[in-house]
Amino acid sequence: MVRKHTRRAAKAAFAISFAVALLLGLSAQGGAAAGSRPAGAADAQQARAREAKPTIVLGTKNFTEEFILGQLYGQALEAKGYKVVYKGSIGSSELADAAITSGKINFYPEYTGVIVLDLAKQSSPKTAAATYAAAKRFEETRGLTLLEPTPFSDTDSFGMLASTARKLGVKTIADMKKVGSFTFAGFPECRTRITCLLGLKQIYGLTQAKFVPLASISVYTLLDQHKVTAGDVFSTDPQLQSGTYTILKDTKHIFGFQNVAPVVSQQLAKAGGVAFARVVNAVSAKLTLAAMRAMNKAVAIDKQTPKAVAARFLKANGLA
């Protein structure tokens, strides 16, 4: 994976945008009083506007980045007067897909490559744009659609301790062919995904890999304790910036392109119209690799809540 942003740069960018947004917010507050409406009339108008807007039933998958994404989209929509019902951690992509196709939710953030490769079971497109287009075509055959994708992409990756990689003499996933039996950790769904263990076995021929399903223990903890050789990590994980871990190069491109795009029901998209899409797309447009790494670190390592981290980011960028 290519990482051009340092942790210091990510924090600096976040701080600058926060300061600018704060100044703009203070300016706006200073000029509001002269033309303000009576409180009662304003409240009544806001109530009518809220009643006319569709309710968003928002679900997320079961890991840190998804929790942050759910709060980012949900809070931005709430700031514009939408009612948001949070359904919390649904689980894997397969479970989230079942929830939205059955109508239990009508909005959740998903990775475009996961839609194409794991849900639609199609071959991997050659570009991020082609992946997004293929994912949108697939979802639209099922009464769903995609809103605009994020600039950042978060792919599954073959991670291990840098010291282990040096000891084994491996730099690419293909190099693991020369290694004997080894253990590979991942979420349970990794076992049957072409973008995970299935791809490692079928495309790379790593049939000697023994799968270790993750439960409550992080893949990084298992690596640190030398309980597994390697594991399924994600390219936006803040732990990867420490230098303790390394990612083996995916020369056969089994992980695909993984920009985030909100999956929404066509019914919600139609009811919300341009105004709804504009709110969601404005959030997506701000989600750079540096921003997501900074927010993931704030939650996963600094132990802040996804709700608080999302709120600061939205305020700093004038989205709430």
- Same domain, yes or no, for 83 and 229? no
- Same domain, yes or no, for 186 and 231? yes
Q: Domain residues for 88?
A: 9-24+49-153+259-316
In CATH, what number is assigned to the domain containing residue 170? 3.40.190.120
Q: Assign 3-class secondary structure to the chain.
A: CCCCCCHHHHHHHHHHHHHHHHHHHHHHHHCCCCCCCCHHHHHHHHHHHHHHCCCEEEEEECCHHHHHHHHHHHHHHHHCCCCEEEEEEEECHHHHHHHHHCCCCCEEEEEHHHHHHHHCCCCCCCCHHHHHHHHHHHHHCCCEEECCCCCCECCEEEEEEHHHHHHHCCCEHHHHHHCCCEEEEECHHHHHCCCCHHHHHHCCCCCCEEEEECCCCCHHHHHHCCCCCEEEEECCCHHHHHCCEEEEECCCCCCCCCEEEEEEEHHHHHHHHHHHHHHHHHHHHCCCHHHHHHHHHHHHCCCCCHHHHHHHHHHHCCCC
Closest CA to 152 of 309, 303, 320, 293: 293
- Same domain, yes or no, for 107 and 127? yes
* Residue 39 included in any domain: no
Going from the C-alpha of 189 to that of each of 18, 22, 72, 90, 119, the distances in angstroms are 38, 42, 26, 13, 12
Angle between helices 266-285 and 64-79 (to 10 degrees): 100
- Same domain, yes or no, for 58 and 102? yes
- Same domain, yes or no, for 131 and 239? no
Q: What percent of the chain has pLDDT over 90?
A: 80
- Same domain, yes or no, for 229 and 289? no
* Residue 190 included in any domain: yes
Q: Where does the pLDDT of residue 30 fall: very low under 50, low under 70, confident under 90, or very high at 90 and above?
A: very low
Q: Where does the pLDDT of residue 241 fall: very low under 50, low under 70, confident under 90, or very high at 90 and above?
A: confident
Q: Where does the pLDDT of residue 216 fall: very low under 50, low under 70, confident under 90, or very high at 90 and above?
A: confident
* Residue 264 included in any domain: yes
- Same domain, yes or no, for 124 and 20? yes
This prediction's pTM? 0.77
* Residue 43 included in any domain: no
Tokens of 139: 């979802």
> 148-192, pLDDT tens digit by residue?
999 999 999 999 999 999 999 999 999 999 999 999 999 999 999
The mean-pLDDT minimum among 18-22, 86-90, 211-215, 244-248 falls in: 18-22
pLDDT averaged over the chain? 88
- Same domain, yes or no, for 114 and 16? yes
- Same domain, yes or no, for 139 and 170? no
- Total number of domains constituting the chain: 2
- Same domain, yes or no, for 17 and 67? yes
Across 248-263, average pLDDT: 95
